[in-house]
């Protein structure tokens, strides 16, 4: 057959020729390559390097009695570790399928084959493979070229945020990061510092909401010996400590109005006066700030000085929540699992299929911080080598938000599915329609029906 390079490559390892034909017919969106045994499967893997493989665990054994399906799985992963292998097992062979997943298979399905169900698993595997490849490409650019070497994402909106920060990193533009708690604002600020010409200077972070109002001034500006009771020695503030580097003001919206005036004076004159001091001190410090509050509303209400806002927000970067970064939760979860398993000396190696589905479907109201907490706990609680949805405490229906009206619940589900599909398709309506399993005209009708543009 003629192999098109424009389609994703899917290798089907199946000794039932009738089923092979059925699968080939069903997956016309892929370049399907077939193999009937281990040698032909490995030859096809080397020749075509497919991203996804479906593998029948019930292949006839080798003459020496070797279990052919598991031996094939092992060799596929040895040759190309990032291949997503979906294993098939007959009824009553669930234990073997779970063993295969524990050995590195991506997912499993039972025979007789449900074409639609397997199609969803295959599509998800291709999607995840693409996300991992993109993240690997970003990581290979190196810490100095990629601002956020430690920031994991493959979401187009989040990647745009990263590229914006890369462009301004080597300037002295003041950057304001806006986003919900736990979205990674400090990680982005550290990335900006690391990619700037100030990288050899200090990165100093201070959470303005965590320090009592009467102590915040001394924390930021420092104080002279004898300035107040208990000031037994002259102490530099955070602004001075960040000389030649970057000061990260987290939750800047919590700075009291009286202190905002002094901060504004520093930004205008680039000098400070310690508490109890008489002499101005020149300081070369770049300011990066962040808040989860609606800063525009605070300015309008008079709770945040407009002139200070314009000094701090020469560039405003809005960070999307984890729920609006399709695929990122799974990418982050895999990295966090490896880290926590290593730190805790755990035997956990991966996720069960129900855990992956739960991670992908959860709304993550606490963003990355919630994901970190759940992963850390799951590594401790997991009894086997695979973390389950139960270990993550993600068994309950996350969409049970009190909707008793069926029409409202359906509309909400439609909106969520459509938003996620369009995001995953990078705005391409045709691709999004394929992900949703509907025609393009139907998707346009739904967009119009739900007032979602398009």
For the chain, residues with pLDDT lower than 50 are: 1-4, 64-65, 140-147, 397-404, 454
Q: Would you state the structure tokens that stand for residue 213, as one six-digit string?
A: 């109002």
pTM: 0.60
- 441 φ, ψ (degrees, to nearest 5): -60, -40
* Contact yes or no for 186/367 (Cβ under 8 A): no
44-78 per-position pLDDT tens digit: 998 888 999 999 887 765 554 456 788 889 899 88
Contact 276, 233 (CB under 8 A): no
Residue pair 61/67 in contact (Cβ under 8 Å)? The answer is yes
**Contact status, residue 379 vs residue 415, Cβ threshold 8 Å:** no
DSSP state of 200: T
In the β-sheet with 315-318, what is the strand arrangement from edge to edge?
A: 203-207, 246-250, 286-291, 175-178, 315-318
pLDDT at position 247: 96
| pLDDT confidence of residue 453 | 55
Query: What angle (nearest 5°) sits at the alpha carbon of residue 84, between those of residues 82 and 90?
Result: 145
- Quickly list DSSP for 130-188: HHHHHHHHHHHT-TTTSTTTT-----HHHHHHHHHHHHHTTS---EEEE--TTS-HHHH
pLDDT at 82: 86
207-213 CB contacts, 8 Å cutoff, 24+ apart? 207/250, 207/251, 208/249, 208/250, 208/251, 208/252, 208/253, 208/254, 208/255, 209/250, 209/251, 209/254, 210/251, 213/256, 213/259
Instruction: Write down the residue that tokens 């982005």 correspond to.
Output: 188
**Chain mean pLDDT for the chain:** 83
84-89 and 52-56: which strand pairing? Answer: parallel
């Amino acid at each position: 057959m003629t192999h098109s390079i424009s389609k994703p490559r899917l290798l089907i390892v199946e000794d039932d020729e009738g089923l092979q034909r059925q699968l080939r017919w069903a997956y016309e969106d892929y370049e399907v390559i077939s193999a009937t045994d281990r040698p032909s499967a490995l030859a096809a893997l080397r020749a075509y390097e497919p991203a996804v493989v479906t593998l029948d665990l019930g292949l006839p054994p080798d003459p020496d009695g070797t279990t052919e399906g598991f031996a094939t799985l092992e060799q596929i992963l040895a040759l190309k570790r990032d291949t997503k292998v979906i294993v098939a097992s007959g009824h009553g062979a669930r234990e073997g399928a779970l063993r295969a997943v524990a050995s590195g298979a991506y997912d499993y399905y039972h025979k007789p084959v449900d074409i639609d169900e397997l199609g969803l698993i295959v599509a998800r595997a291709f999607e995840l493979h693409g996300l991992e490849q993109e993240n690997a490409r970003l990581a290979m650019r190196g810490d100095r070229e990629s601002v956020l070497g430690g920031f994991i994402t493959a979401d187009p909106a989040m990647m745009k945020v990263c590229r914006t920060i890369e462009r301004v990193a080597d300037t002295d533009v003041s950057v304001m990061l806006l986003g919900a708690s736990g979205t990674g604002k400090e990680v982005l600020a550290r990335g900006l510092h690391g990619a700037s010409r100030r990288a050899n200077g200090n990165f100093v972070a201070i959470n303005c909401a965590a320090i009592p109002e009467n102590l915040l001034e001394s924390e930021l500006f420092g104080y002279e010996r004898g300035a107040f009771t208990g000031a037994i020695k002259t102490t530099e503030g955070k602004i001075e400590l960040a000389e030649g580097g970057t000061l990260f003001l987290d939750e800047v919206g919590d700075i009291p109005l009286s202190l905002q005036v002094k901060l504004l004076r520093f930004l205008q004159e680039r000098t400070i006066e310690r508490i109890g001091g008489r002499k101005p001190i020149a300081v070369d410090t770049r300011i990066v700030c962040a808040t989860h509050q609606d800063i525009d509303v605070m300015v309008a209400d008079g709770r945040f000085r407009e002139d200070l806002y314009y000094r701090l927000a020469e560039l405003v970067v809005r960070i999307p929540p984890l729920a609006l970064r399709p695929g990122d939760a799974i990418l982050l979860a895999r990295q966090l699992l490896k880290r926590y398993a290593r730190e805790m000396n755990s035997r956990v190696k991966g996720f069960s299929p129900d855990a992956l589905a739960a991670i992908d479907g959860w709304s993550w109201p606490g963003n990355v911080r919630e994901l970190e907490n759940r992963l850390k706990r799951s590594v401790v609680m997991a009894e086997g080598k695979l973390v389950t949805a139960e270990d993550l405490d993600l068994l309950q229906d996350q969409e049970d938000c009190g909707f008793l009206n069926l029409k409202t619940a359906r509309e909400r589900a439609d909106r969520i599915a459509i938003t996620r599909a369009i995001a995953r398709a990078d705005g391409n309506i045709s691709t999004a329609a394929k992900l949703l399993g509907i025609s393009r005209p139907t998707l346009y009708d739904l967009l119009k029906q739900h007032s979602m543009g398009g």
